A and B are shown apart, each in its own frame.
Chain A
Amino acid sequence: MTTHLGFDFTPPDVEGKVSGEIKYAEDYKRDGMVFARILTSPLPAGRVANIDASAALRMDGVVGVFTADDLPPSPPPGNPTLASEYVTYVGQPILVVAAVTEEIAESAIDNIRVDFERRDFVVDPMESLTPGGKNAYPEGNVLIRTREEGPGGTPIIGAEIRDIKWPQSAIDAMRNGRNPVDGEFTTEWAFGDIDAGFAESVAVIEEPFVTMGYPHHCLEARTSMAYWENGKCYFHGSSQSQSANNNGLARMMNIDPGDLVFINEATGGGFGSKIGPYPIMAVAGNFSRMLNRPVQLRITREQEFYIGSARSGMQGWIKIGVKEDGKVAAVDLVIVNDGGSTGGGSGNSSAGHVTITFQPENMRYRGISVYTNTTPRGAQRGPGENEMAAVLAPITDKAAAVVNMDRVRFRRANVIDSDGVRSQSQSGVTSAFVREALDQGMRLFNWNERINQPKRTGNGNKVRGRGVGIGYHGAGSRGYDGLVRIGTDGRLYIHSGVGNLGTYSYAGTCRAAAEVLQVPWDRCEILRGRTDNHLPHSSGQGGSNTMFTHTRTNWVAAEDAVNKLKEIAAADLGGSPNDYEIDGERVFSSSDSSQGLTYAQAAQRAIEMGGRYSGMEYPDDINPITQRAVQGIQGTGLIGVSKDNIPGQGQPPGNVVGFTEIELDLDTGKYEILDYAAVADCGTVIHPTNFMNSMRGGAVWGVGMANLERHVYDPQNGLPANTGLYQSKPPTYLDVPTSTRAAAVNIPDPQNPAGCRGIGEPTQGASVAAIASALSDALDGHLFNTAPTTTDMIVNHLAGNSYSTQSLKTNTF
């Protein structure tokens, strides 16, 4: 059937990225543009008592200063664009100064005097929970989500900060790897009866664990440039998302979304850091309006560390009961998240990962996320799930060992399938074929043979380890809109409001429209990247959802176009629409193919017929963003537009299994990844090359989480040690295997007309889990229970030294 789905193609922006011709936000200039730079906080906590910018404003070339007073108040627990009353981390933006050159703007920063009042600070959540421990905010240390009954029963969702302290007994328990029985939590849920589950277990494992947060360090720092023309704000920004930003970004400038032209053709990385409008985006547009000049706010590498958000770290404890047949009978899980200055953590998602991999009949989760005076936390590729996968994999291996089961078979016995349930809700999934992925992965990796090979191969003081891991993330959404247009030139114009993070899924999803309308790809054009290209309501490009979500929207929009083609043909040529079919860019009679219209002719007729055919009318249920987009192109061709109302239920999961073999040098603590093979359960692979890119890229991320990347904060002064890219240590080309192998189960998801689900995030989780599993295997089952497990930790273990994470005292070093 398909000519597009499952076949490679070249997304239209690839050439520009390879040649350097494509433009990022920082590449745009405008006559009269001024350069804005940020003054950031030197303190981890305090308030701005006074700002004296008079000396800077007297400098030649300085045109203005922009402070928190120029924006609406953003009291806690909001994450302010510019801090004033609540300075909560080193590097937090305080003010912005603009000048005619960057050099003058930077010099002006040094001529601004800011008087701060200091406050207590804390960089370790456990320290903050300790009796008498310091709080990151004057009001407290924990973010509480609230829900109140509003008028007419409409819930009012809110948030507040509370001060929570644990009894010393709970602190001591956590730090010594025991259940903090009397600790207070803000999230608690359970299903089944864990006591009964543990009672029927033949083995019970208890382990503490620590994972470190770490920054995104997006390669493209989040520069923005804005100017105003004819009452509209033209905003060049760096985001993962396109249409999903419109309303929030317009609110930041207090304008109607229709007066915003958001331009974002290419984005140099985000992966959770740039999903929606982030606070610093409020500056360029508002400052430009204030100065009546175009303003470019360029973000430095160090500032990208500060404001680019980070993965939340966690300190936790898990208890697992295993039955004789290898089934996990019960899980008890505790997670204390480091919420940074924004307070949120990913503990619930971590717990969700446990439910996917173990499908326990009985489980309890208790979690709390604690503010610290460190950088804002947010989503980062598989937030919660991937770091949980990292520490859970060796613990899973230990569980398999106690019931004398092969590690893969143990996972196979427990992992979710299409009838399984997930997370707190114990709700279903659209489909899941992880067992098939494990079976395929075992064959691909030759697991049965390799695990029986000797660990020592005679290569110096080196030992090999083999590991397996599972990555999971929810991978799809529903209810967004699709919009296509057949022009009078007969070409298919696919309007995509999906962002261009760099994953090319915006283009892959457009192939669904071409497939439905059977238009050759070289006769298709994707319109995207700027609001005035008339883009429909689309999801944010986060959560690995794009492939599932927007193959559906493009599918339904194209189907709407097909129906209209047939209706136009029937109106012109007689009969009913059902008498017509499409092929070769024509709509024609099924009984006499000579009777028909070309797409170009049909588009011309659509314009003449007007109404819903040319977009003069549109469905009631499409989003206002899509309504504006249709209004922008109405009367220019045959318009296909529809909301995704495809029936179905359950979460579409993205699942990956990874297998790896490492060789660990017992003298140096370094290991080489000799082989990595992964199999994805993501439904039908739509774009094979891009699928492989995602599998490889995620695997590299896994190497970083396993061994290298982490926040390092000094508890003495709240200073981050690794603000630079080289200090944060993302993996380099010699830290990863020269080649990796990847495959897909390729069983279609029944709730997607193209058969696909997303896969971006779990690619990392599978990789880090497999590496952690292999490291444990190399060391005869030793559990580090950390992510990352750095070289020094391994050396210390081999030398019999204690290492700093053993006490769980800090998750920052």
Chain B
Amino acid sequence: MPSHDVMPNMDLYQPVQVEDALALADRLADRGWLVGGGQDTYGWLKDRAKSVEAMIDLSGIESLRGIRETADGLEIGALTTLTEVANSPVIQSSYSVLSSAAGKVASPQIRNIGTLGGNVSQDVRCWYYRRGLDCYRAGGNLCYADTPEGMNREHSLFNVSRCVAANPSDTAPALVALDATMVIQSVGGERTVAAEDFFVGPANDIQNTTTIRPGEILTSVRIPSTWANATFYFEKVADRNVWDFPLVNVAAAFKMSGDSIEDSRIVCGAVECKPHRVTNVENAIRGQAKSASTADSVKELATEGARALAHNGYKIPLMQNLVKRAISG
């Protein structure tokens, strides 16, 4: 296969109003490519693993940037950089699971450019898929990773269906833990989707990782105050401590009633094609003390239903340990 690293020829649109961007997105549909920070754009296009006729550069639309306090929490523009999310005082004080997660993405340089919208919209990190092979996700009829000899150390444990790729986002589990709402606009208007429903697995849609469709733009993320100032936990385990995707991460929010867990949302990343909420664990710890013994007693529930591939079996104990730490930490 040819090795490229120069951008192919394509049209470039640089709207400064969201309405213009929506019109372009509507007109170009799947012939266009939305780019914000570009951290999951240029690799695809330079490698020729994906090709489009035009790029719609959203980075000039100021209205898509910034963190605003609302009557019911926060609204974060999709183009807000991960550094801004990580350093935001209001996020750090009331929704620290998100600032912690954003601060663990990739490297400082990438966080300075990469956006929250891009981080949750990024494609899966299956190396076969990203090499441009004709796998199921790319429209073919094979999965190269889900074989006895496939190199699938980073792939999914849960809910695989023809594709075993994992969602690599660090902020996505945090947004699901915060019960965030994704705001999606098109020329037809605005729709909102719960973060938990924003991400889709291969059984429902094997070619997309989110519910966004051609012509739509993720414009912001709303964080409700429901979980403000909860007890939070975020941890990411990656091979490297900088510039790496998670092997497994966990984002958790706990509402406490005295020493007891009144409610919780615990979400793991990099174990499924979408953030994986461990509702059985949440149910099991409701009313329990937030303690090491509680954590030990439920940690194995976290991986119920997990199916290890040839090389990712380590994710099962790792995920159990991270859920344990989230509860006991």
Contacts and interface: CB of A to CB of B under 8 A. Distances in A.
A735 interface: yes
A115 interface: no
Contacts of A721: 127, 151
Interface stretch (A103-111, A142-150, A337-345): A103-111
B149 A791 contact: no
A621 interface: no
Contact of B247 (A732, A791, A798): A791
Interface string A784-813: 000000111101101101011000000001
A715 B144 CA distance: 11
Contacts of B61: none
A801 B239 contact: no
B325 interface: yes
A733 B144 contact: no
Given A667-B321, A731-B240, A813-B151, A110 B107 contact: no
B249 to A, nearest CB: 11
Given A714-B144, A799-B317, A804-B311, A670 B237 contact: yes
B70 to A, nearest CB: 35
A735 B4 contact: no
Given A669-B318, A714-B150, A302 B5 contact: yes
Contact of B127 (A91, A727, A729, A801): A727
A804 B311 CA distance: 7
Given A667-B322, A799-B317, A303 B147 contact: no
B204 interface: no
A38 B1 CA distance: 11
B125 to A, nearest CB: 10
Interface in B46-97: 48
Interface residues of B, number: 40
A667 B107 contact: no
A183 B313 CA distance: 33
Given A300-B4, A732-B243, A110 B48 contact: yes
B2 A792 contact: no
Contacts of A717: 144
Nearest to A707: B239
A734 interface: yes
A306 interface: yes
B153 A813 contact: yes
B2 A735 contact: no
A162 interface: no
A732 B2 contact: no
Contact of B1 (A42, A668, A796, A801): A42
Interface string A661-679: 0000001111000000000
Given A110-B48, A667-B321, A799-B314, A306 B8 contact: no
B242 interface: yes
Contacts of A729: 239-240, 244
B1 A40 contact: yes
B314 A796 contact: yes
B216 to A, nearest CB: 30
B311 A91 contact: no
Interface residues of A, number: 52
- Of A40, A714, A733, A793, the most chain B CB neighbours within 10 A belong to A714
Contacts of B318: 667-669, 795
Nearest to A804: B311
Contact of B6 (A103, A306, A715, A813): A103
Given A668-B318, A732-B107, A716 B6 contact: no
A716 B149 contact: yes
Given A716-B147, A732-B107, A301 B5 contact: yes
B3 A726 contact: no
A744 interface: no
B3 A302 contact: yes
Contacts of B151: 712-714, 721, 813
A340 to B, nearest CB: 18
Given A712-B151, A715-B149, A716-B150, A109 B2 contact: yes
A670 B243 CA distance: 16
A39 B2 contact: yes
From B48, B244, B314, B317, name the one whose CB has the most chain A CB atoms within 10 angstroms.
B314
A727 B151 CA distance: 13
A733 B312 CA distance: 27
A300 B3 contact: yes
A126 to B, nearest CB: 14
B3 A91 contact: yes
B27 interface: no
B241 interface: yes
B47 to A, nearest CB: 8
B313 to A, nearest CB: 6
A306 B241 contact: no
A109 B310 CA distance: 37
Contacts of A803: 314
B277 interface: no
B140 to A, nearest CB: 14
B131 interface: yes
Interface string A299-311: 0111100100000
Contacts of A799: 314, 316-317
Contacts of A733: 242
A66 B328 CA distance: 64
Contacts of B242: 732-735
Given A714-B150, A791-B239, A795-B318, A667 B5 contact: no
29 contacts: A102-B6, A103-B6, A110-B48, A300-B3, A667-B318, A667-B324, A668-B237, A668-B321, A669-B318, A707-B239, A712-B151, A713-B151, A714-B144, A716-B149, A729-B244, A731-B240, A732-B240, A732-B242, A732-B243, A735-B242, A790-B239, A791-B239, A791-B314, A792-B153, A795-B317, A801-B313, A801-B314, A801-B317, A804-B310
The 4 closest A-B pairs by CB, nearest first: A799-B317, A734-B241, A667-B321, A732-B242
Given A40-B1, A732-B242, A734-B241, 11 more contacts: A39-B2, A109-B4, A300-B5, A302-B3, A667-B322, A667-B324, A714-B151, A716-B150, A732-B244, A734-B240, A795-B318
Interface of A: 38-40, 42, 90-91, 102-103, 106-107, 109-110, 300-303, 306, 667-670, 707-708, 712-717, 719, 721-722, 726-727, 729, 731-735, 790-793, 795-796, 798-799, 801, 803-804, 813
Interface of B: 1-9, 48, 107, 127-128, 131, 144, 147, 149-151, 153, 237, 239-244, 247, 310-314, 316-318, 321-322, 324-325
